[in-house]
């Protein structure tokens, strides 16, 4: 059995997103989303940057409203704290991490074009959808919108 060595925080530098949003630690995303070293640091960084871009675009109007009220960073938006960060900060990081994982799983499932690879790609569809759902739920939780699940029959 081959075991991938865990990444160290020193090998993955934080991703800064701007004055309002908290920095994202790739190591924390790797740990929270259970991503091993088959996901290289450059690929993880790229996925996090794309995910953060999508997330902040989805929260653009909400951010403008918070700044208009006088909150200059996400960390000062009123919210209870858990483990040294506000709930909203945790949810922002969950949104970014969940979408990053979905993006990575979409890319990594296409390595094997054989029938076996097709079955594996099909098996990953539900987890990818789950990650995308987690991303959207985190955004809804941040903005105070209700979660809505609709299924066509």
As a whole-number percent, the residues of the chain with pLDDT over 90 amount to 69
Average pLDDT over the chain, rounded to whole? 86
Q: Is the dihedral of CA 126, 51, 100, 114 positive or negative?
A: positive
Residue 47 is predicted with a pLDDT of 97
**CA distance linking residue 102 with residue 20, whole number of Å:** 25
Which DSSP symbol is given to 73? S
Q: Give residue-wise pLDDT tens across range 100-147.
A: 999 999 887 654 444 554 555 455 567 899 999 999 999 999 999 877
Query: Who contacts 98 (Cβ-Cβ below 8 Å, separation ≥6)?
Result: 33, 51, 131, 132, 134, 135, 138
Residue 46 pLDDT greater than 80, yes or no: yes
Residue 14 pLDDT greater than 70, yes or no: yes
**Which position has the higher pLDDT, 142 or 153?**
142
78: left (phi over 0), alpha (psi -120 to 50) or beta: beta
Q: 109 vs 5, 64, 71, 117, 123, CA distance in Å?
A: 22, 37, 41, 7, 9
- Please report, for the chain, the start and end positions of each structural domain, with discontinuous segments joined by +: 14-143
Q: Nearest 10 degrees: CA dihedral of 113, 119, 125, 130?
A: -130
Residue 66 is predicted with a pLDDT of 97
**Residue 64 φ/ψ, nearest 5 degrees:** -60, -40
């Amino acid at each position: 059995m081959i075991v991938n060595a865990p990444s160290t925080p020193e090998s993955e530098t934080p991703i800064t997103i701007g004055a309002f949003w908290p920095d994202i630690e790739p190591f924390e995303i790797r740990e929270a989303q259970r991503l091993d070293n088959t996901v290289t640091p450059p690929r993880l960084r790229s996925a996090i940057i794309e995910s953060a871009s999508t997330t902040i675009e989805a929260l653009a109007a909400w951010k403008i409203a918070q700044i208009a009220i006088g909150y200059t960073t996400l960390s000062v938006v009123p919210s209870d704290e858990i483990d040294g960060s506000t709930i909203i900060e945790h949810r922002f990081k969950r949104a970014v991490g969940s979408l990053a994982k979905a993006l990575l799983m979409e890319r990594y499932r296409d390595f094997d074009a054989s029938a076996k690879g097709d079955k594996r790609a099909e098996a990953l569809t539900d987890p990818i959808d789950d990650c995308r759902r987690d991303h959207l739920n985190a955004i809804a939780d941040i903005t105070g919108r209700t979660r809505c699940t609709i299924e066509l029959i």
